[in-house]
Amino acid sequence: MDCVSRTKKTLRAQLRQERELTFTLQSWLHIVQAREIQSTPIVASYISYGFEPQTEDINSTLIREGKVLLLPRTLPDRDIEWVAWDGRAESLKRNGKVLEPIGEAFTDLASIGAVIVPSLNIDREGNRMGQGGGSYDRALARLGAWKVGLVGAEELTGEHLPVESHDQKVDAAATPELLLRFSRDAPGHL
C-alpha cells in the first residue's frame, strides 16, 4: 500500500466515525429539481444504509415522476452493474449491508443522464472520498452522466482530498440545504 492509499484509509476511518457521531435523518430531495436530473429520463441512484445520506425519498420521487431508476449491483470482482428498479421491496435482495436490485443488467450506459453517488467527503474540486472499494470509481469512469455526490453540510471540505489516478470526480455535491456545481474550466474554483 502506497502513501496516498494509507492516507486515504486513515482519513476514511476518521470520516466514518465523524459521520456516525453527527448523523441525523435529513432529506436531499431538492436535487430532484436539478436541471441535469429533470432533463434526463434515466437516473442512477443507490439505496442508502446505515449513516449514509438517505435516498428513499429521492428514489421514490424519481420513480413517481416516470424516470427509469437504476440501482447498482456489485459483481464478484467488486465492479458495479446497473439494474432498473421499480420501487418494489420484493425486487431487492440483500448483499451484506446493501440492498441490491434483482433483474437484468442495464447495458445502454450512454443513455444514463445523471448518477447520484454516495460519498463520505467532497473537496472544492469535486474529488470524492468513497467507501474505499473502488467500485464506484470503476463504474463512474464508464459513464458520461452528470455525477452528484451526497454529503452532510460538514462533509464539504476546502482542503484537498488525497487522490489516486483511478479516482473519479463528481460534477456537483449536494447537502440537505444546497447543490454546489463544480466548474471544470477553472480547477480549484467553484
SS3 22: helix
Domain assignment present for 188: no
* Per-residue confidence (pLDDT) for residue 133, from 0 to 100: 75
Q: Which three cell numbers stand for residue 131?
A: 467507501
Domain assignment present for 76: yes
Domain assignment present for 158: yes
DSSP lists the bridge partners of residue 43 as 69, 114
DSSP lists the bridge partners of residue 149 as 117, 173
Domain assignment present for 186: no
Domain assignment present for 132: yes
Specify the DSSP class assigned to residue 145. Answer: S
Spell 52-76 as b/e; 16+ CB within 10 A means b: bbbbeebbebbbeeebbbbbbbbee
* Per-residue confidence (pLDDT) for residue 120, from 0 to 100: 94
When divided into structural domains, the chain yields a total of 1
Q: How far apart are CA 132 and CA 9, in angstroms?
A: 7
What is the domain-level CATH number for residue 96?
3.40.50.10420
Q: Which three cell numbers stand for residue 50?
A: 446505515
Q: Which of 163-167, 171-175, 185-189 has the highest mean pLDDT?
A: 171-175
Q: Where does residue 10 rank: exposed (0-12), middle (13-18), buried (19+ CB within 10 A)? A: exposed
Specify the higher pLDDT residue, 143 or 186: 143
The string of pLDDT tens digits covering residues 54-65 is 999 999 999 999
* Res 189 pLDDT > 50: no
Domain assignment present for 133: yes
**pLDDT > 90 fraction of the chain, expressed in percent and rounded:** 71
Domain assignment present for 33: yes
Domain range for 29: 3-181
List the Cα angle 65/86/91 in 5-degree steps.
Answer: 160
Domain assignment present for 119: yes
* Per-residue confidence (pLDDT) for residue 1, from 0 to 100: 61
